[in-house]
């Protein structure tokens, strides 16, 4: 597998990110290995909080929350998925699959022998992390979901699978290639077909200039200064490093014939019997995942007794906009479920 490794000088003196780099080798499908980066802060014998980012960000997203957890005596591991942050970046988009991302995360958890995990997952951190939790359930103690989901085309069966999938592909092909996040967002909100997410898929896949910092600002990251812009963009010196960031939205199993649907349905079957503490902390201003918390609350037994919260005044990247509120919610949930 061909990959790139972002030069170390891109990460020098990042604003608010003083954390030492740690690496774990995970297998690629060709018999080689990829280097997966993770932050590891706090006492090694402390109870573990695992922080998982989404697309197109990296562990920098959790920089404000990590110290808050460490101050309370917890060990914090914040992972960079393959293709993001300081992790290696395969250069061919076809090298990124949903299943491989799950396997890469599971390899890290096993190699580091992580147990009693409280997972905090947002966006793709949930799609990957929730699958890993159902496949390695004994390693997880608690789960916190924030602005994420586990799509499985619930209720779509038989002839509907092909019909809906074909309609979605046709709609995708009809869409223009938007040149900026605001242009894409305006077109998305004006789309009344029920297939708005495809605008985001096409933008990430085909726009000439995909910049992580612009996506963060547009998608509820708030106002970023020059130092924060440079930090979010640091892992990606040019477009040849961006295959993962471009491919992730295309992997979301929103089409009923997506290969990941069956695996996600199997994960939901596990969650139907999951009685470990399960918590939702979604923001109030994220149109992408709005309402996804309801299925978790109604389906997962471990979620039924929790005091779920809504993080006010935050968009999709609530770790950037409301880190104190999210961290406080996580800590309270953990204290309520010792």
Tell me the catalytic residues.
123, 286, 316
What does the alpha-carbon distance between residue 309 and residue 84 come to, in Å, rounded to a whole number? Answer: 29
Query: Vertex 210, ends 95 and 169: CA angle to 5°?
Result: 60
Q: How far is CA 252 from CA 64, 68, 128, in A?
A: 28, 31, 10
What burial class does residue 70 get, using C-beta atoms within 10 Å of its C-beta: 0-12 exposed, 13-18 middle, 19+ buried?
middle
What does the alpha-carbon distance between residue 312 and residue 334 come to, in Å, rounded to a whole number? Answer: 20
What does the alpha-carbon distance between residue 197 and residue 140 come to, in Å, rounded to a whole number? Answer: 31
Closest CA to 167 of 197, 199, 195, 202: 195
Query: Vertex 218, ends 212 and 221: CA angle to 5°?
Result: 80
What does the alpha-carbon distance between residue 160 and residue 166 come to, in Å, rounded to a whole number? Answer: 10
DSSP per-residue codes, 208-273: S---HHHHHIIIII----HHHHHHHHTT-SSGGG-HHHHHHHHHS--STT-TTHHHHHHHHHHHTT
Closest CA to 253 of 138, 133, 101: 101
Computed on alpha carbons and rounded to an integer, the radius of gyration of the chain in Å comes to 19
Q: Directed axis angle between helix 98-111 and helix 124-135, to 10°? A: 60
Residues of the chain by 3-state class (helix, strand, coil), percent to 5 = 45, 15, 40
The answer to whether the CB of 276 falls within 8 A of the CB of 136 is: no
Closest CA to 295 of 153, 132, 119, 189: 153
> What is residue 46's three-state secondary structure?
coil
């Amino acid at each position: 597998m061909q990959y790139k490794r972002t030069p170390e000088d891109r990460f020098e003196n990042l604003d608010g990110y003083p954390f030492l780099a740690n690496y774990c080798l995970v297998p690629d499908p060709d018999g080689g290995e990829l280097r997966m980066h993770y932050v590891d802060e706090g006492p090694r014998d402390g109870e573990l909080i695992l922080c998982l980012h989404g697309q197109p960000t990296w562990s920098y997203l959790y920089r404000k929350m990590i110290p808050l957890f460490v101050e309370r005596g917890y060990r914090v591991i914040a992972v960079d998925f393959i293709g993001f942050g300081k992790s290696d970046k395969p250069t061919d988009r076809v090298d990124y699959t949903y299943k491989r991302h799950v396997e890469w995360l599971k390899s890290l958890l096993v190699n580091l022998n992580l147990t009693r995990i409280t997972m905090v997952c947002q966006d793709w951190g949930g799609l990957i992390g929730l699958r890993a939790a159902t496949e390695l359930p004994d390693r997880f103690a608690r789960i916190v979901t924030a602005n994420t989901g586990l799509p499985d085309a619930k209720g779509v069966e038989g002839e509907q699978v092909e019909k809906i999938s074909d309609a979605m592909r046709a709609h995708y092909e009809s869409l223009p290639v938007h040149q900026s996040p605001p242009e894409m967002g305006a077109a998305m909100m004006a789309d009344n077909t029920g297939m708005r997410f495809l605008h985001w898929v096409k933008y990430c896949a085909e726009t000439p200039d995909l910049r992580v910092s612009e996506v963060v600002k547009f998608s509820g990251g708030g106002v970023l200064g020059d130092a924060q812009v440079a930090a979010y963009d640091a892992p990606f010196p040019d477009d040849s490093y961006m295959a993962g960031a471009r491919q992730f939205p295309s992997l979301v199993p929103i089409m009923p014939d997506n290969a990941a649907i069956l695996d996600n349905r199997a994960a939901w079957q596990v969650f139907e019997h999951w009685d470990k503490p399960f918590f939702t902390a979604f923001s109030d201003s994220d149109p992408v995942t709005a309402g996804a918390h309801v299925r978790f609350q109604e389906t997962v037994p471990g979620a039924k007794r929790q005091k779920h919260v809504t993080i006010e005044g935050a968009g999709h990247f609530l770790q950037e906009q409301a880190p104190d509120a999210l961290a406080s919610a996580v800590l309270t949930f953990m204290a309520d479920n010792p």
